[in-house]
Amino acid sequence: MTKTNRITIKIGTAVLTRPDGSPSQEVIDILVDDVANLKDKGIQVAIISSGAVNLGRSVPELRDRHFKLEQSGKINPETLREQILAAVGQPKLIAVYSTGFEKRGYHCAQLLVTRSDFADRKFYLSLRVVTEELLRLGIIPIFNENDVLTAEEINFGDNDQLAMMVSAMLNTDRLIVLTNVDGVFDRSPHDDQGATRLSKIEDVQRFLERCEVATHSPSGKGGMRSKLLCAETLASLGIPMSIGSGLTKQPITRLLRDWGNKGTTFPVVKQRARASKTWLVTASVPSGKIIVSTYLAEVFHNKRAASVLLAGIESVQGNFGKKDVVEVCDDDGTVLARGLVRFSSEELVAKVKKYRDLSDEEKAQVNAADVIAVHYNDLVFMR
């Protein structure tokens, strides 16, 4: 097994539950046992678990996907049904894990989070501290989206996104994604028995151009495309990821031991990023945009180190405050980078106008720090 001190594991709905919403107890027992064996070896493990909504369907009153509602009001009925299912399924999900881990002498903690918790830098840092302490104490953190409270327009989209953010937040050594197929195939293995598993994918975008992959999972929100994009982002941050079957014996140990031979792996393409830049790439939510000149856009297209200076700003969009996150875009709207801006939108518009009106001689007299809108140290390139 490759030396590993900390891993994150994302477990999909299709692995944990049956179509009728009941837990796949035999599979869960195997997963719990595998995690416990890793813990016995001193490896820290955090879990990102789907399955709550489907477990909610195991309740007789909720088995009909279109169960009757009387208080939907302005809430989308399908969203409300999912919130109700999640509210019922969450305690069932954590009970399944708690019972299993306690038999092996371990305890777990439930962390229900929203997209806003990750977007807010203060909440994000607090969540990271709590999780780090749980890991230090030997407790297994189990993350899931708080579907009961999350508005549809600000959710994670799927738990693959959540797994990516948690992995980046914890600077994990590896992310293991367990699903009901043994990796990524060139064609759907469910529809074509001749489909070939790819042991390694180094260029996600090139693969997506050549192969058609599912955008949604029949049993959950995510699909293979979502997993691939998450793998691409993590690889750019120096965190490897593997996708494999959760329906085998020792599924996690198997992927770790035969890294590159089982499932599909995504090797890193860059060294580990600084923690602040990791947050900018994976978790931050931009409050506005800065449109830059053709020259500066070309610099960012080529991923050359540079700060966003007043002289290179063409226009400012949105209403943001000092130290808010903004996207840096070219004049076609392509997002080139993301960073922490040093001025509010109102201040920045005024400063750009004032700077443009200066003569070349006057510009030369301006303090260098005063012309930087986004410093390179607070900026990350986006794919």
Nearest by Cα to 231 from 243, 222, 214, 216: 243
Amino acid at the residue 134? L
Segments of the chain with pLDDT less than 50: 1, 153
Beta-carbon contacts of 279 under 8 Å, excluding residues fewer than 6 positions away, are 121, 124, 168, 169
Chain mean pLDDT for the chain: 91
> 3-state DSSP call for residue 4?
coil
* pLDDT of amino acid 269: 85
- Type of residue numbered 128: R
pLDDT of residue 215: 56
Q: What is the pTM of this model?
A: 0.90
| Interaxial angle between packed helices 121-136 and 159-169, expressed in degrees from 0 to 180 and rounded to the nearest 10 | 70
Q: What is the pLDDT of residues 335-344, one digit of tens each?
A: 999 999 999 9
The reported pLDDT for the residue numbered 366 is 92
Output the pLDDT for position 170. 97
Please tell me the predicted confidence (pLDDT) of residue 202.
93
State the pairing for strand pair 197-198/184-185: antiparallel
- Which residues lie below 8 Å from residue 280, measured CB to CB, with a gap of 6+? 325, 338, 339, 340, 378, 379, 380
The pLDDT score that the predictor gives to residue 49 is 97
CA distance 282 to 349: 28
Q: Give the model's pLDDT for residue 318.
A: 97
E strands in 330-378: 335-340, 372-374
Q: Buried (b) or exposed (e) across 58-81, using 16+ Cβ within 10 A?
A: beeebeeeeeeeeeeeeeeeeeeb
What's the pLDDT at 75?
Answer: 78
pLDDT of residue 1: 47
How many Cα atoms sit within 13 Å of 179 on the Cβ side?
26
CA atoms within 13 A on the CB side of 318: 19
Domains and CATH numbers, the chain: 6-277 (3.40.1160.10), 286-381 (2.30.130.10)
